[in-house]
């Protein structure tokens, strides 16, 4: 790049630095929230990425590229979008304000176009890598999309997060030449100057995983000094200097800086810098490559040139670059004072009248901004898949069957549907076969970027790996599972192709990937995940594999619909419905639930269950009504009035249960009948949809100061206002609210302690889930009336 263009970039980056700093300043000093809670923001973390980001958006990126910005650099991102003309000026004083710019880049809440949400460090960093995995898959199945580079701008301390290394190490992410991570190597975290010199360790870790590593360590001034005779000793000294000592230089000037810089240095270094003036020494020895636009552009070009593996750039930067808090170990959340901001404004040649201005459109910088805006403008993307997922695959079972088995069979059936099949993609963290994906894999194969030779012939499992495969196998990392699902579910946006992603995981280990699960749904992703097997019902497996709190997790996660069917047909309907919702807008008319947007979490079991009671309910209610109620969240599996007509005057209870425990509940209802109590049995297929329906009417009542109505889903399943017993192979708390929703006393039964090995019967006995306990709970509930 010629000097003129570099000068233009420099002018732009100076304005970016100013705006990013002032955006945070305005949030803290121009607004009075009146609640005493500090607003906050990160001027220092923003400043250290100003050069790298200016060089990206104002020179390097194309419209097709997708970038994750480290959470604390969101002000830089918005400043850049503003200068490009993609953000209205009114937002600039609204960082961290309601309806304003989000603290951390958000796909769903920011007014400008954010590619990847970030916030929980490590996750946003890994997301572009999985977006690139998704792109490789899309290109292989649907034809090559226009080339994109997937970039992550990440903090150096972010590399302490384990999920980073799980992502880097997984074979599914190897060979992605369109990925570039840029580490903002300012050697500071939140609390401290990162001890020691970690670059060699990190370099080794990336290289061991097959990555291309670039270091941008020095700026032009230092490079020139190194080239002078004796410069090698200077370089050697700076390279060996501990971070703590180096960082301390930023707070110093004059002779004090020289003294600190030379502390412990060989005599030749002192001699080399002897004729460099005090005023020049500081700027020289702190001249780092991460603030040299040409050095950064060269690094980006080096990454582009390596097309067979991902690249990582370590850009040596200064936290707080260009600000009075530069390099200060306590600068992470430090805010410039109003006086400092005033001085900075003046130093940037701005006044309170001109401080929010865009670049003068007639100036070279303004012209550059206009050109870049054009170059970066993107065509709209289509979210809906535009295919109709059938309401049912008609899986039937005439013998006891588990939901996990049915799940596998429904997927196989859908893989036969010519409309739906091409878009299905499954993934699992080394549990594909043990979660019943084998049938699907046998039909569709495993995805590999290139054809792989198969060395063993297995008639049960045809693990053929090829670019046509539709299962993406991961190593044992639940973080990677949810990161990949999250990106597969955003493929419509980031790769121009909507997909129907389905993941499986052992239910207890949903918790292991929980933050990535949250990350995906917070980002607006849509996918299906099956947690299977779950609960103490996988009895002999013992406490380490028995999930108890996952139902609550599924129920409470926003953007996630939690489903726990017990019977084959109900799972079939719910899974087809979920995929139909993801396919976008093709929700069958019978769906009682209002349009949902997000992920679908099925909690399944390996316990075979007799299907006859469900068929009886089907005969009683009819297919259409039953389906509607199943999809809405609950239906009466046994209607006591019809099942026990001679108990017309008997006391009535409702036994509500989800999933694998239904046989015990049915047995309890029969025992209660013998004791003269009429018990309805309600199969709760989606605790989540029921709860949401209830909450919706309550909130409506609260907001309009009117008496809330009882939502339809609750009304049809719990027609009588009589005592309730809830039974769940999960923490008793998850269903306990049903009593209040029905307006009657409730006794919640569930698993509130860690499990252990045993038979189903033994463990149900331990946790009071056998029919005898359910009967006693029903009597207790009646007594509480």
Q: According to the binding rule CB under 6 A, does residue 43 interact with ligand TPP?
A: no
Two tokens, residue 412:
């196989």
| Residue 523 in contact with ligand TPP, rule: CB under 6 A | no
By C-beta, is 47 or 265 nearer to ligand TPP?
Answer: 47
Identity of the residue, 69 or 414, whose beta carbon is nearer to ligand TPP in the bound complex = 69
Residue 332 CB, nearest approach to ligand TPP (Å)? 6
Site stretch for ligand TPP (CB under 6 A), options 108-116, 140-148, 188-196, 480-488: 188-196
From CA 742, how far away is CA 738, in angstroms rounded? 6
The interface partner of residue 158, options being Mg ion, ligand TPP, none and the CB cut-off 5 to 8 Å by kind, is ligand TPP
Residue 190 near ligand TPP by CB under 6 A = yes
Residue 125 vs 744, nearer CB to ligand TPP: 125
* Residue 114 vs 681, nearer CB to ligand TPP: 114
Q: Nearer Cβ to ligand TPP, position 72 or 107? A: 72
Give min distance, CB of 120 to Mg ion, in A: 16
Beta strand residue intervals within 507-662, DSSP E? 528-531, 560-563, 599-603, 634-638, 652-658
3-state SS, residue 352: coil
Find the shortest distance in angstroms from Cβ 317 to Mg ion. Answer: 8
- Position among 111, 155, 310, 329 found at the interface with ligand TPP (CB under 6 A): 155
Note whether 96 binds ligand TPP by CB under 6 A. Answer: no
Contacted entry of ligand TPP, Mg ion, none for residue 265, CB cut-off 5 to 8 Å set by kind: none
First to last CA, the chain: 82
Sheet containing strand 678-684, strands side by side:
634-638, 678-684, 652-658, 724-728, 746-749
CB-nearer residue toward ligand TPP: 161 or 664: 161
Out of ligand TPP, Mg ion, none, what residue 48 binds, judged by CB under 5 to 8 A for its kind, is ligand TPP
Q: Which is nearer to ligand TPP, 49 or 582 (CB)?
A: 49
Supply the minimum distance, in Å, between the C-beta of residue 319 and ligand TPP.
Answer: 5
Helix axes 74-84, 364-376, angle to 10 degrees: 100
For the bound state, the minimum distance from the C-beta of residue 152 to ligand TPP, rounded and expressed in Å, comes to 12
Nearer to ligand TPP, 120 or 302 (CB): 120
Q: Of these, 25, 184, 507, 572, which contacts ligand TPP (CB under 6 A)?
A: 184
Backbone angles phi, psi at 106, to 5 degrees: -130, 125
Gap between the Cα atoms of 633 and 639, Å rounded: 17
Binding mask 133-172 for Mg ion (x = CB under 5 A): ----------------------xxx---------------
Using the minimum distance from each CB to ligand TPP, give the nearer residue, 223 or 334.
334
- Measured from the CB atom, the residue of 46 and 605 that comes closer to Mg ion is 46
What is the separation of C-alpha 442 from the centre of its chain, rounded to a whole number of angstroms? Answer: 30
> Residue 320 — left, alpha, or beta (φ > 0 → left; ψ -120 to 50 → alpha)?
left
Binding mask 118-137 for ligand TPP (x = CB under 6 A): --xx----------------
Establish if 243 lies at the interface with ligand TPP (CB under 6 A): no
Least spacing, CB of residue 48 vs ligand TPP, in Å: 6
532 near ligand TPP, rule: CB under 6 A: no
43 lines the binding site for Mg ion (CB under 5 A):
no
DSSP string, 28-73: HHT---SS-------HHHHHTTHHHHHHIIIII--TT-EEEE-GGG
Work out which of 115, 158, 683, 688 binds ligand TPP, going by CB under 6 A: 158
Angle (nearest 5°) at CA 294 between 333 and 165: 55
Check: CB of residue 287 under 8 Å from CB of residue 222. Answer: yes
Contact assessment for residue 525 and residue 494, using Cβ atoms and an 8 Å cutoff? no
Cis peptide before 560 (omega within 30 of 0): no
- Which pair of structure tokens corresponds to residue 388? 């109709």
Q: Are strands 424-429 and 678-684 parallel, antiparallel or unpaired?
A: unpaired
Q: Calculate the alpha carbon distances from 87 to 80, 97, 483, 488 in Å.
A: 9, 16, 29, 28
Closer of 84 and 153 to Mg ion (Cβ): 153
- Which one, of 177, 165, 149, 142, lies nearest residue 447 by Cα? 142
Q: Which of 293, 360, 355, 315 is nearest to 20 (CA)?
A: 355
Residue 329 or 524 having the CB closest to ligand TPP:
329
Site for ligand TPP in 319-348 (CB under 6 A): 319, 332
Helix axes 662-674, 771-783, angle to 10 degrees: 60
Query: Contacts with Mg ion in 172-211 (CB under 5 A)?
Result: 186, 188
Q: Is 550 in the site for Mg ion (CB under 5 A)?
A: no
DSSP lists the bridge partners of residue 215 as 314
502 closest CA partner among 404, 557, 428: 428
Which residue is nearest to ligand TPP, using beta carbons? Answer: 155
Report DSSP state, residue 250.
G
60-88 in b/e burial notation, b at 16+ Cβ within 10 A?
A: bbeeebbbbbbbbbbbbbbbbbbbbbebe
Q: Between 203 and 235, name the residue whose CB sits nearer to Mg ion.
A: 203
Taking alpha carbons only, the member of 528, 569, 778, 558 closest to residue 685 is 569
Is 188 a residue that touches ligand TPP (CB under 6 A)?
Answer: yes
Residues 6+ apart with CB under 8 A from 479: 126, 162, 163, 166, 167, 512, 513, 515, 516
- Binding partner of 72, given ligand TPP, Mg ion, none, CB within 5-8 angstroms per partner class: ligand TPP
Determine if 157 is a binding residue for ligand TPP (CB under 6 A).
Answer: yes
The answer to whether 690 and 710 are in contact (CB under 8 A) is no
- Per CB under 5 A, contacts with Mg ion among 341-370 are none
CB of 20 to ligand TPP, least distance (A): 13
Name the minimum Å distance from CB 522 to ligand TPP.
13
Q: Binds 54, which of Mg ion, ligand TPP, none (CB < 5 to 8 A, cut-off by type)?
A: none
Q: How many residues bind ligand TPP (CB under 6 A)?
A: 17
Integer Cα distance of 30 and 747 in angstroms: 54
* From 28, 48, 435, 547, residue interacting with ligand TPP (rule: CB under 6 A): 48
Residue 606 binding target from Mg ion, ligand TPP, none, CB below 5 to 8 Å by type: none
When computed from its CA atoms, the radius of gyration of the chain, rounded to whole angstroms, is 30
**How far is 323 from 344, CA to CA, in rounded Å?**
8
For 754-785, letters b (16+ CB in 10 Å) and e give ebbeeebeebbeebbbbbebbbebbbebbeee
| Rounded (10°) angle between helices 199-208 and 162-169 | 30
Binding flag, residue 189, ligand TPP (CB under 6 A): yes
- With CB under 5 to 8 Å by kind, the binding choice for 190 among Mg ion, ligand TPP, none is ligand TPP
- Asked if 167 is part of the footprint of ligand TPP (rule: CB under 6 A), the reply reads no
664 binds, among ligand TPP, Mg ion, none (CB under 5 to 8 A by kind): none
Q: Which is nearer to ligand TPP, 319 or 680 (CB)?
A: 319
Q: What does 170 bind: Mg ion, ligand TPP, none (CB cut-off 5 to 8 Å by kind)?
A: none
The yes or no reply on residue 72 touching ligand TPP (CB under 6 A) is yes
Contact 563, 610 (CB under 8 A): no
Query: Least separation, in Å, of the C-beta of 160 and Mg ion?
Result: 10
Rounded to the nearest whole angstrom, what is the least distance from the CB of residue 379 to ligand TPP in the complex? 33
User: Binding of ligand TPP at residue 156 (CB under 6 A)?
Assistant: yes
Residues forming contacts to ligand TPP in the complex (CB under 6 A) are 45, 48, 71-72, 120-121, 155-158, 184, 186, 188-190, 319, 332
Residues forming contacts to Mg ion in the complex (CB under 5 A) are 155-157, 186, 188
């Amino acid at each position: 790049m010629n000097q003129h263009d570099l000068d233009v970039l420099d002018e732009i980056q100076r304005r970016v630095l100013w705006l990013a700093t002032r955006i945070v300043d305005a949030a803290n000093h121009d607004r009075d929230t009146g609640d005493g809670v500090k607003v906050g923001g990160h001027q220092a973390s923003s400043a250290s990425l100003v050069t790298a980001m200016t060089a990206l958006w104002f020179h390097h990126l194309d419209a097709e590229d997708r970038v994750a910005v480290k959470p604390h650099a969101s002000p830089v991102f918005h400043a850049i979008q503003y200068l490009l003309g993609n953000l209205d000026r009114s937002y600039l004083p609204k960082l961290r304000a309601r309806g304003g710019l989000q603290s951390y880049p958000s796909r769903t809440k920011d007014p400008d176009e954010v590619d990847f949400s970030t916030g929980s460090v490590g996750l946003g960093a890994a997301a572009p890598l999985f977006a690139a995995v998704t792109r490789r898959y899309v290109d292989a199945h649907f034809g090559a999309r226009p080339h994109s580079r997937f970039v992550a701008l990440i903090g150096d301390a972010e590399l302490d997060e384990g999920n980073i290394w799980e992502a880097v190490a997984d074979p599914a992410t190897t060979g992605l030449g369109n990925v570039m991570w840029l580490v903002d190597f300012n050697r500071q975290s939140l609390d401290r100057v990162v001890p020691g010199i970690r670059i060699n360790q990190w370099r080794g870790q990336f290289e061991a995983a097959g990555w291309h590593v670039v270091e941008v360590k020095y700026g032009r001034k230092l490079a020139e000094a190194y080239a002078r005779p004796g410069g090698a000793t200077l370089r050697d000294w700076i390279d060996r200097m501990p971070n703590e000592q180096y960082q301390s230089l930023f707070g110093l000037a004059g002779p004090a800086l020289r003294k600190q810089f030379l502390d412990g240095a060989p005599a030749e270094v002192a001699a080399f810098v002897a004729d460099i003036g005090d005023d020049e020494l500081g700027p020289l020895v702190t001249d780092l490559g991460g603030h040299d636009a040409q050095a950064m552009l060269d690094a980006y070009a080096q990454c582009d040139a390596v097309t067979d593996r991902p690249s990582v750039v370590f850009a040596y930067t200064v936290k707080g670059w260009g600000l009075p808090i530069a390099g200060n170990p306590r600068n992470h959340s430090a805010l410039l004072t109003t006086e400092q901001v005033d001085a900075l404004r003046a130093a940037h040649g701005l006044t309170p009248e001109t401080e929010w201005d865009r670049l003068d459109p007639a100036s070279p910088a303004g012209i550059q901004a206009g050109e870049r805006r054009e170059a970066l403008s993107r065509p709209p993307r289509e979210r809906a898949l535009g295919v109709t997922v059938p309401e049912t695959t008609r899986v039937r079972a005439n013998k006891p069957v588990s939901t996990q088995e049915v799940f596998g069979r429904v997927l196989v059936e859908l893989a036969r549907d010519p409309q739906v099949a091409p878009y299905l993609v499954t993934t699992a963290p080394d549990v594909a076969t043990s979660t019943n994906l084998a049938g699907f894999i046998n039909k569709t194969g495993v995805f590999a970027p290139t054809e792989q030779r198969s060395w063993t012939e297995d008639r049960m499992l045809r693990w053929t790996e090829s670019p046509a495969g539709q299962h993406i196998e991961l190593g044992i990392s639940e973080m990677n599972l949810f990161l990949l699902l999250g990106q597969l579910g955003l493929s419509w946006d980031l790769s121009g192709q909507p997909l129907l992603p389905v993941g499986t995981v052992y239910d207890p280990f949903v918790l292991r990937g929980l933050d990535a699960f949250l990350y995906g749904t917070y980002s607006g992703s849509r996918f299906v995940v099956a947690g299977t097997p779950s609960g103490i019902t996988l009895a002999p497996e013992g406490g380490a594999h028995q999930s108890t709190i996952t139902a609550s997790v599924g129920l409470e996660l926003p953007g996630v619909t939690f489903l726990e069917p017990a019977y084959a047909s109900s799972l079939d309907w719910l899974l087809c419905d979920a995929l139909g919702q993801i396919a976008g807008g093709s929700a069958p008319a019978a769906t009682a639930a209002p349009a949902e947007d997000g992920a679908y979490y099925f909690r399944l079991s390996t316990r075979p269950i007799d299907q006859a009671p469900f068929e009886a309910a089907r005969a009683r209610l009819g297919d259409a009504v039953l389906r509607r109620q199943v999809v809405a969240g609950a239906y009466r599996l046994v209607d006591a009035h019809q099942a026990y007509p001679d108990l017309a005057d008997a006391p009535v209870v409702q036994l509500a249960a989800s999933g694998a425990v239904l046989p015990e509940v049915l047995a309890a209802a029969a025992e209660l009948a013998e004791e003269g109590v009429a018990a309805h049995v309600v199969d709760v297929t989606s605790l989540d949809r029921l709860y949401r329906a209830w909450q919706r009417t309550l909130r409506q009542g609260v907001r309009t100061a009117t008496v809330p109505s009882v939502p339809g889903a609750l009304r049809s399943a719990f027609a009588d206002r009589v005592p309730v017993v809830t039974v769940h192979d999960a923490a008793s708390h998850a269903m306990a609210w049903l009593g209040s929703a029905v307006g009657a006393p409730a006794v919640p039964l569930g698993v509130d302690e860690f499990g252990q090995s045993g038979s189903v019967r033994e463990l149900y006995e331990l946790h009071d889930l056998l029919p005898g306990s359910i009967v006693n709970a029903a009597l207790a509930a009646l007594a509480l009336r």
